[in-house]
Chains A and B, each alone.
Chain A
């Protein structure tokens, strides 16, 4: 007898994943090596070219101090990518861990988690984060802490739901029947099968974190000058909207592109994981 291979669709890479990862890769390169990508020093003042509109010399124009907008956007990638990663990585790990344990063991912890989720979901996310920053004080580190304090709840909720589904499948029963310990069942069997949606949500969450970081930067609660950050860049241009639109529009586009990259990659990863089943 031979092993009949079930029609395995070639794992063709889908367009969303290709575009998404392409955008993210370019962002990563820019974030790591902005000095090689940016045409100008982002902090260099040039009083001969203040508020210059887009031109061949300055593709995205300059701001009121004559700083090159393109260069500032490229340098800001580093900060915004940092925000995306640093403010979510903690919540992913902690939230997944808590959600997994709660999902597996249930009981009183499950009731506590569900009430906590209810509370957090009722508050507008931005208001809650601003509230925490108001207590901690503005700045990137406090921004990470503020987002982290709230964000883990969403991962915990997701992980709990996924583990509840997996726990009821027969392979989980089989693992118990084989006399495996809870740690082995949870981390070797259930979690690897539950992790897909969590990773997908993480990608979306990083896009949300960039939006949130930019919003707070715009309000002056996030990245502090002289750090270039997309939200802060938009804020820089808010007084010149009528005369120098490029100061606000191009950083805005950068945020949109980054968000797009993360969501496309997230969709692509989700699709890839589904196909592997």
Chain B
């Protein structure tokens, strides 16, 4: 068993939409996104709305068909799978959703939902299903009597636990967590983060953790990718990237994220301006319009993802003096 589980390369996806002038236009949600994910590893994807991070999540689990690029899962090309193999892929890569209210079928008890997931993939003989459900409830720290209840009987945090239990019911290797704590209150967020850390340690899960909240991504991830307008603009070890960000957007994002330090009240705003329209992208670097370090060539030619060191890369000319791109590492 190799350690490398998921290898995504050059993923692109466009949506047809209407521009401000009413003309039909192409919205480029993903513009060549590449990353790898190992077993037992958490890759955090951080970005604001319009960065394409949710499209990325849905493309990886094939809820959305990407336009181009490849998704290799455990050595096979996931985009070519069909029939039984596709169903197996779906089982092994599970998504947990943002909204704990709409992501559960309101007319099914917890037991029914879990039993269905176990049953469809024939993961346990019928006699052992109840035992497995008890196990799953333990795993996500819900009381056993929860099994007979309906989603409406639970609070947001508990529903999110049910969503996680349902994903785990099919014994996945990989979780795609799309903003799973964003809808929750602060004191509940910490509970779910802890649960995710614990589950990962116990089940050796690979986790793609997608969030707009830097503080949480920094805490939970081994490595991170920072997305801006459909591209990964910086990637590297979580601590490195957050302690010493190289891309001006990453720097702005970190400066803008509220800390608990009242001493920062007097500072200036972290970055001016707003996101350019994703249907009318600038010719050069997509961050150029807001960047304080902008140079002439930034406006005409988009920079490639340039290596900062062996594990880090940033899509910025400021990092140019470093080695050539080495983002896509060869799998062993």
Contacts and interface: CB of A to CB of B under 8 A. Distances in A.
> Are any A and B Cβ atoms less than 8 Å apart in their complex?
yes
Interface of A: 1-6, 8, 169-171, 173-181, 184, 188-189, 192-193, 277
Contacts, number: 82
Given A178-B117, A184-B116, A193-B105, 8 more contacts: A3-B145, A3-B146, A3-B154, A170-B102, A171-B103, A173-B97, A174-B104, A175-B105
Contacts of A170: 97-99, 102-103
B143 interface: yes
A8 B95 CA distance: 30
B97 A3 contact: no
B154 A4 contact: yes
Contacts of B158: 3-4
Contacts of A169: 102-103
A171 B105 CA distance: 6
Nearest to A193: B107
A178 B95 CA distance: 8
B107 A192 contact: yes
A100 B158 CA distance: 32
17 contacts: A1-B142, A1-B143, A3-B142, A3-B146, A3-B153, A4-B155, A8-B152, A170-B103, A171-B105, A173-B58, A174-B95, A174-B163, A175-B105, A178-B117, A179-B87, A179-B88, A181-B120
Most chain-B Cβ atoms within 10 A of its Cβ — which of A1, A3, A5?
A: A3
A193 B105 CA distance: 8
A193 B150 CA distance: 14
B103 A174 contact: yes
B105 A173 contact: no
Contact of B120 (A4, A178, A192): A178
Contacts of A177: 61, 63, 90, 94-95
Contacts of A277: 106, 152
Nearest to B149: A3
A178 B90 contact: yes
Contacts of B99: 170
A6 B100 CA distance: 14
Interface residues of B, number: 38
B166 interface: yes
Given A3-B145, A170-B99, A171-B105, A176 B170 contact: no
Nearest to A4: B155
Given A174-B163, A177-B61, A277-B152, A3 B143 contact: yes
Contacts of B98: 170
A179 B90 contact: yes
Rank and list the top 4 A-B pairs by shortest CB-CB distance, nearest first: A179-B90, A170-B103, A179-B87, A170-B97
Nearest to A189: B105
Nearest to A3: B146
Given A6-B152, A6-B155, A178 B166 contact: yes
B194 interface: no
B79 interface: no
Contacts of A2: 143
B223 interface: no
B120 A174 contact: no
Nearest to B150: A276
Contacts of B108: 189
Contacts of B141: 1
Most chain-B Cβ atoms within 10 A of its Cβ — which of A5, A8, A173, A188?
A: A173
Contact of A178 (B86, B94, B107, B152): B94
Given A4-B154, A193-B106, A277-B152, A178 B63 contact: no
A179 B172 CA distance: 12
Nearest to B104: A171
Most chain-A Cβ atoms within 10 A of its Cβ — which of B87, B97, B105, B146?
A: B105
Nearest to B94: A177
Given A171-B102, A193-B106, A5 B153 contact: yes
B182 to A, nearest CB: 13
B91 interface: yes
Contacts of B63: 173, 176-177
B121 interface: yes
A227 B330 CA distance: 85
B149 A174 contact: no
Nearest to B146: A3
B59 to A, nearest CB: 12
Contacts of B87: 179
Interface in B64-119: 86-88, 90-91, 94-95, 97-99, 102-108, 116-117
Contacts of B152: 6, 8, 277
Nearest to A171: B105
Nearest to A188: B116
Nearest to A178: B117
Nearest to B103: A170
A174 B154 contact: no
A208 to B, nearest CB: 28
Contacts of B90: 176-179
A184 B119 CA distance: 12
Nearest to B169: A178
Given A171-B102, A174-B97, A174-B103, A179 B154 contact: no
A189 B272 CA distance: 46
Contact of A6 (B117, B121, B154): B154
